[in-house]
């Protein structure tokens, strides 16, 4: 009997409610094509633009309206993936940092799971280790340009999978006499035309819409290909 492949899915930076309008259909198709074992959401599933430290868009959603729209999208994600491990991203943490800044004890706050109305089988944490010993993290603390992931890889001596950097989607390998390791940046699924991303309007480099997989521990990227109208072309690699 042929042993079934063990497949892990890695999704980062949906930034609800500012994700690409075809995010759900794309992930639904991926879920249908692959027999997924583990799901990792790698941070910034929420944007919380209204609670950011930067200037807010005066024509944008209020904090309560944005939260309501976020939860509507999250419930679709919960239905698609009943269980998942989630890295705490810098955007999702915004409400909790605001509370910390004004001196509200954590005892008075909801957990991430409660706040985002998640199923019991969803778990939030700073980082996770996969079945194949890869480190999964959001990636907001990384620096060093396109080679940023390799620095963590070499310091921890294990493969790393990360998000946060919307314009980075790549797999880079590193080898020594003991191991072959990789650093995989998984891109994002945002709609860069939404007002939450106007800060990068003049940047000629745009977000890369991709997700990551590992098949028996071997990494690969799945692009969300768009047609000339900016919509998903219905293909899944």
Q: Name the residue among 5, 74, 16 with its Cα closest to residue 38.
A: 5
**Is 237 inside any structural domain?**
no
**Is 190 inside any structural domain?**
yes
**Is 203 inside any structural domain?**
yes
Q: What's the pLDDT tens digit per position in 197-207?
A: 988 888 889 99
**Is 236 inside any structural domain?**
no
**Is 106 inside any structural domain?**
yes
What is the three-class DSSP state of 212? strand
For strands 7-11 and 38-41, give the pairing. Answer: parallel
Q: 202-208: long-range contacts (C-beta < 8 A, 24 or more apart)?
A: 203/167, 205/167, 206/167, 207/166, 207/167, 208/166, 208/167, 208/168, 208/169
**Is 215 inside any structural domain?**
yes
Residue 1 has pLDDT above 60, yes or no: no
Q: What's the pLDDT tens digit per position in 95-135?
A: 999 999 999 999 999 999 999 999 999 999 999 999 999 99
pLDDT of residue 146: 66
**Is 228 inside any structural domain?**
no
**Domain that residue 140 falls in:** 7-223
What number is the average pLDDT over the span 77-98? 97
Contact 219, 210 (CB under 8 A): no
**Is 229 inside any structural domain?**
no
For strands 135-137 and 160-162, give the pairing. Answer: parallel
Q: What's the pLDDT tens digit per position in 141-181?
A: 887 666 788 878 888 899 999 999 999 999 999 998 889 99
Element (H, E) at 210: strand 210-215
Report the domain count for the chain.
Answer: 1
Residue 52 has pLDDT above 90, yes or no: no
* Structure-model confidence comparison of residues 170 and 55, the more confident one: 170
CATH of the domain at 85: 3.60.21
């Amino acid at each position: 009997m042929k042993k079934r492949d063990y497949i892990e899915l890695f999704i980062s930076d949906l930034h609800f409610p500012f994700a690409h309008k075809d995010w759900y259909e794309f992930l639904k198709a991926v879920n249908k094509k692959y027999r997924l074992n583990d799901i990792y959401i790698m941070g910034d599933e929420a944007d919380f633009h209204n609670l950011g430290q930067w200037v807010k868009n005066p024509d944008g959603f209020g904090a309560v309206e944005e939260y309501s729209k976020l939860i509507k999208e999250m419930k679709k994600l919960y239905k698609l993936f009943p269980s998942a491990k989630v890295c705490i991203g810098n955007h999702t943490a915004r409400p909790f940092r605001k509370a910390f800044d004004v001196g509200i004890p954590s005892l008075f706050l909801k957990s991430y799971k409660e706040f985002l109305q998640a199923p019991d089988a969803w778990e939030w944490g700073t980082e996770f280790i996969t079945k194949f010993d890869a480190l999964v993290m959001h990636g907001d603390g990384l620096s060093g340009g396109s080679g940023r992931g390799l620095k963590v890889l070499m310091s921890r001596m294990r493969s790393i999978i990360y998000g946060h950097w919307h314009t980075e989607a790549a797999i880079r390998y590193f080898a020594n006499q003991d191991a072959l390791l990789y650093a995989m940046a998984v891109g994002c699924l945002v709609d860069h035309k939404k007002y939450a991303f106007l800060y990068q309007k003049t940047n000629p480099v745009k977000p890369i819409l991709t997700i990551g997989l590992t098949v028996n521990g071997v990494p690969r990227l799945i692009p969300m290909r768009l047609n000339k109208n900016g919509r998903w072309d219905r293909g899944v690699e």
